[in-house]
A = this chain, B = another copy of it.
Amino acid sequence: VVLSAKGLETGTLDRQSEILADMAPDAVPYVLSGPSFAVDVAAGRPTAVTLAGDDAGDTSMLAAALAGPSFRPYAADDRIGVEIAGALKNVYALACGAIEGAELGASARSALIARAFAEMARMVSAMGGSASTLTGLAGLGDLTLTCTSVQSRNYQFGMALGRGLSVETIMANGAKLAEGVSTTPVADALARSLDVDAPLIQAVHAVLSGKADIATIVAGLMSRPLKRED
């Protein structure tokens, strides 16, 4: 079974392949993820994604079977890294959209992407995945796509948050499904259970639950003592 849904299960904190193992214990799980807007794939524009699976030979064979002239899946073995990256990028897209909605500038948005990448690496390492997966298509590739494109539903939702609207108001205005809204509290619980420092996930969670506004969070981030970057 090739899993292409993204997210973490509310309550259990399970990844998609853990849900699959519960529902269909005999299924062999593969995870497909990477920068690929449906509209680009459908239009035959060049798209490169990651296909992660446990058996190297089978994964390469499946990648070749799924490949077409414009759709290129690259085989990899770190299912955990690919699944966590796919889930968390939607949380960070909410944050990046909020930066744009609050008119804080493209520079701040890119600083946030660099911080998100570091936080995602801490999460993946704590889950037993490989941080190096994140430099590939399913990590960095998908993060930059989702976090910089108004085509992304999560980014759009974040923009509305950045303009000061509440989740309830945004939903009442007929916003499209933004998976990050469901993923954020689960990601926050996961970070806490793993004892991972995840200030961005926490900040998005606080904004979504109405406990903080963007201006307060940004002011807090900007007034922290200047530590070394390395």
Q: Taking beta carbons and an 8 Å cutoff, which residues of A are in contact with B? A: 34-37, 39-41, 43, 45-48, 50, 56, 60, 63-64, 67, 69-70, 72-78, 104-111, 113-114, 117-118, 121, 132-133, 135-137, 139-142, 144-145, 147-149, 151, 218, 221-223, 226-230
Contacts and interface: CB of A to CB of B under 8 A. Distances in A.
A110 B226 contact: no
A176 to B, nearest CB: 17
Contacts of A108: 40, 45-48
Contact of A56 (B74, B117, B133, B228): B228
Nearest to A145: B110
B144 A67 contact: no
A135 B111 contact: no
A72 B222 contact: yes
Nearest to A140: B114
A144 B92 CA distance: 14
Contact of A222 (B46, B76, B104, B135): B46
Contacts of A77: 230
Nearest to A106: B149
Given A56-B228, A114-B136, 11 more contacts: A35-B114, A60-B226, A63-B226, A74-B228, A76-B230, A78-B230, A106-B149, A117-B135, A118-B136, A121-B135, A132-B230
23 contacts: A35-B107, A37-B105, A37-B106, A40-B107, A40-B108, A45-B104, A46-B222, A48-B108, A56-B228, A69-B223, A70-B222, A74-B229, A75-B226, A75-B229, A106-B149, A111-B137, A111-B141, A113-B141, A114-B139, A117-B135, A118-B136, A133-B230, A144-B144
Contacts of A139: 114
Q: Which 9 pairs show the lowest CB-CB distances between chains A and B?
A: A35-B110, A114-B141, A45-B105, A110-B145, A74-B229, A40-B105, A40-B107, A48-B111, A46-B108
